[in-house]
């Protein structure tokens, strides 16, 4: 068992240029540890990520604030307690509304992330 507090974990860099605005991503469980990648992602108001897809599935669990999740075909406003399932290879984006900070847990199967060209 491993017990951790997000505020004690290092903020990870953004090598893909996925994020815009102020975003903090903290890895809780790294690739290969449990067959999952788990991260806490915190967005300042108006911050988010660009349209992208993962080769594995992703689940987002909204922990605070108000955010927007979108695919190429729809957009929804989400709040704390909302759970979002994103199938493998589905283009999507998520981030804070302009008036609210936003945070979620990201739970993924390991794989690659590609930005929409």
Q: What is the topology classification, in CATH, of domain 36-91+103-112?
A: Jelly Rolls (2.60.120)
pTM for the whole structure: 0.91
**Residues 79-94, mean pLDDT to the nearest whole number:** 98
For 52-61, b/e burial (b = at least 16 CB within 10 A) is bbbebebbbb
Tell whether the model's pLDDT for residue 33 goes beyond 70.
no
d(CA 34, CA 19): 26
User: Where do the domains of the chain lie?
Assistant: 36-91+103-112
pLDDT value, residue 111: 87
Residue 43: pLDDT band by 50, 70, 90 thresholds?
very high
Instruction: Give the pair of three-digit tokens for residue 26.
Output: 């903290």
Predicted confidence band at 94 (pLDDT cuts at 50, 70, 90)? very high
Say if residue 62's pLDDT is above 80: yes
**What value does the mean pLDDT take over residues 20-26?**
94
- pLDDT the model gives residue 31: 73
Task: Dig out the tokens for 15 from the structure.
Answer: 């090598």
Burial 62-87 (b: 16+ CB within 10 A, else e): bbebbbbbeeeeeeeebeeebebebe
């Amino acid at each position: 068992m491993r017990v951790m507090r997000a505020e004690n974990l290092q903020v990870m860099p953004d090598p893909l240029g996925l994020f815009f605005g102020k975003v903090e991503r903290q890895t809780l469980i790294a690739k290969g540890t449990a067959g999952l990648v788990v991260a806490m992602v915190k967005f300042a108001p108006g911050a988010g990520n660009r349209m992208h897809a993962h080769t594995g599935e992703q689940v987002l669990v909204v922990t605070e604030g108000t955010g927007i999740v979108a695919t190429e075909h729809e957009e929804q406003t989400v709040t704390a307690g909302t759970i979002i399932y994103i199938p493998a290879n589905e283009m999507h984006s998520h981030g804070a509304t302009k008036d609210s900070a936003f945070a979620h847990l990201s739970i993924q199967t390991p794989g690659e992330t590609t930005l929409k060209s």
